[in-house]
Amino acid sequence: MTAIVTSTSSAIYSFSAATEFSADVKTTNLSGTQTRVVAQIQASGTGLDLSSLLLNGQTASVSGIADSRMVTSFAGPTLQSDYMAIWDFAASPLDEYSLAFNSLGPHMSLEAVRIDAFASDTAFVTPASVTAVPEPASIGSVLALTCGGGIRWLRRRKSSAKAKRS
């Protein structure tokens, strides 16, 4: 199977077959008796095969699509999805983990992968499902738009009150 790195977004893309991905994750300097590994994957086009998403050969405690939206690509509108998977282990962290996953078919563009590992001496609370959580940057954007809209509304209100007095 051949994949290319796109010139516009530096995504990994295959036009001819399903793509297999793997990444080794080093987790040094973690200590505790409980371990959590979280993988976040952003892809567009053909979807990710969630059943293939494995960490050291194990399926996730919980996984799913956290968010999906339509975006514009070189081929026109396409669906971009954010996937999340969480693995909880009742054991001390290993020094290295191996993440593997596949696309459902050709035409998946792998945009981004983020893998985080945590350790604790108390058990992690595992959510029942994966849900979208707004990022701090998007919360700031919403607040800025709200404040901007409020200021504009106040200016209009003042100018209409002035016009009524004249």
Average pLDDT over residues 106-117: 90
Instruction: Please tell me the pTM assigned to this model.
Output: 0.71
pLDDT of residue 4: 45
pLDDT of residue 115: 94
* Mean pLDDT (the chain, rounded): 79
- Distance between CA atoms of 142 and 124, rounded to whole angstroms? 31
| H-helix or E-strand spanning residue 152 | helix 136-165
- Identify the burial level of 100 via C-beta atoms within 10 angstroms of its C-beta, where 0-12 means exposed, 13-18 middle and 19 or more buried: middle
Residues in the chain: 166
Q: Is the pLDDT of residue 149 over 60?
A: no
Q: Is the pLDDT of residue 143 over 60?
A: no
Average pLDDT over residues 98-108: 91
Out of 3-17, 24-38, 89-103, least confident range: 3-17
Per the model's pLDDT, the better-predicted residue between 67 and 130 turns out to be: 67
Helix (H/G/I), strand (E/B), else coil: 140? helix
- Distance between CA atoms of 166 and 164, rounded to whole angstroms? 6
pLDDT of residue 161: 56
